[in-house]
Structures are given as structure tokens and as C-alpha cells.
Amino acid sequence: MKTKTFLAGLLATALVAACATATSPTGRTQYVGGVSQQQLNQLGEQAFAEAKQKTPQSRDARQVAYVGCVVNAVTRQLPAPWNQQRWEHALFENADANAWALPGGKVGLYTGIFKVAENQDQLAAVVAHEIGHVIARHHDERITRQLGAAGAVQLLGALAGDYGQLAAQSGSVLAQAGFLLPNSRAQETEADVVGQDIMARAGFDPRGAVELWRNMAAVGGARSPEWLSTHPDPASRLRELESRADALLPTMQAARRAGQTPRCQ
């Protein structure tokens, strides 16, 4: 074990040394590069396969097609290089109002999301927000921060492809890779900005993001749903969403004039 820890420490040191700063879509300085995009994609693919293995998928053909329509409409309008990969989605049978997207072009939604996403614009807000995390390199950022932490041995094992051993130790690639750790408020705000822009470019009404948040807050009551537990202050966030929605209406209108008018429901 000492040898493994020592080697992991050396690898972690080498990876941290290779890290670089980058500028996020909102101008924030990020520390990224602890893992390659190929490694991130591999982790995303493994985590998605794990989710499909452990959680039943919906058999409601209408809902599955509805989700697919929204995901496809959103991903067609992503900037390069994100629009050059194939995006795969799955609808899982789970009562939680939750969704996520992973590197490698993977999107997962729980059937509980329909409790708060009442129409295609609100569902597009969910999908675009989660894909916004991928585009803004938040997974890279979070994993880079994790290098050198107590979980570095398990994380580096995952990056090396030692999924069998990782599963035995922790039971989840999703957890060990940091994909399910709470996002920071800065990352959540950034995903809101990126996501609202993407959905407008796809022809969805950006005001759907405002309506989605109101629904989320209503369902959560005094305690916000886990999906939004680290988001900014609800009142200020709502004001920001409303302000951006108004500014993005011309983007939506231009998209619709160009023939991008989603009809997913």
C-alpha cells in the first residue's frame, strides 16, 4: 500500500505540474488540465454505463422521445468542439427532480424532473444548464482541484482504467471522479449563463429557465431540492435569470426565423 501511495503521489505531483490556467465562458480564471479531455471522456462514459446498470430506465416511450427531442435540439446548437461529438441521453426511473451531464457527451435525467419542468422550455433549461457544466469545463476544474486530496489514489486508479478495483473500493466511478460532488456557486451561476444562452440559440424560450427555478423553489419549500443546493441566493438568482431572459429574447427570435423552432411536446 505504501508503494501504491508513493507512486500515486508522484503521479499526482506530475499532473498538478501540468495544470494550466484557463478563462471560463464568463471570464473567470480556472485551474484545469490535471487530466486530459480523453481521460475525462473515458470517465464520463464509464460513469454513464454505471448509471444505466444500476438505475432502471424509463419504459415510457412518449417521455423518452420527448427528452430525446429536447436534448437533440439543444446539442445541435452547441459551439465547437462540443457539437462535433455524439450526445447520448437516458431517462431514469427515479422520483428525484434531478439531471446531469458528463464529459464524453452523456446526459442523464430522472423522471422526477417532470414535476418541475412542465414544458419543453423548462426542460431545455435543465438540459442546457447541465451541458453548460461540460462546456465550461467544470468537471476538469473539479478533478484538477481534487488531485493531491485524500482520494487521489482512488481517482488516479480510475484515470488509469482500474475501474474494477475502484468499484470494489468505493462502489462508484461517479463519486470517486468527483462528478457528483456539489458544484461551487460560481460554477452553478456560470452554468446558468451558458445554459440560458444555449437554449435561446436552439429556439427555446429563455424565460423557461425563470419558470423552472420558480417551480423548483415551490417544490423545495423551505429547503431547496438537492439539485439546486449550492446555487446562488434564490432571489438574486431569479433576478439574474429574468434579466438575461429579456436580453436573450432576440436570440431566440432569430433562431426561430432561421427555422429552429423546437416542437418537442
Q: Tell me the pLDDT band of 154, cut-offs 50, 70 and 90.
A: low
Q: What is the pLDDT of residue 126?
A: 97
d(CA 76, CA 250): 19
Q: Residue 222 and residue 62: Cα distance in Å, rounded?
A: 33
Catalytic residue flag (residue 93): no
Least confident interval from 28-32, 47-51, 80-84, 221-225: 221-225
- State the maximum Cα–Cα separation within the chain, in Å, rounded to a whole number: 63
Radius of gyration of the chain (CA): 19
Q: Which residues contact 144 (CB under 8 A, 6 or more apart)?
A: 16, 19, 31, 32, 33, 34, 35
Distance CA 58, CA 51 (A): 13
What's this model's pTM, rounded to 2 decimal places? 0.81
Average pLDDT over residues 142-147: 76
Q: Does 34 or 105 have the greater pLDDT score? A: 105
Judged by DSSP in three states, 33 sits in: coil
Q: What does the domain layout of the chain look like in residue ranges?
A: 2-257
Task: Please report the pLDDT score of residue 28 as a whole number.
Answer: 87
Kindly name the residue from 50, 130, 190, 211 that is annotated as catalytic: 130
Residue-wise pLDDT tens digits, 61-111: 999 999 999 999 999 999 999 999 999 999 999 999 999 999 999 999 999
| Secondary structure class of 222 (helix, strand, coil) | coil
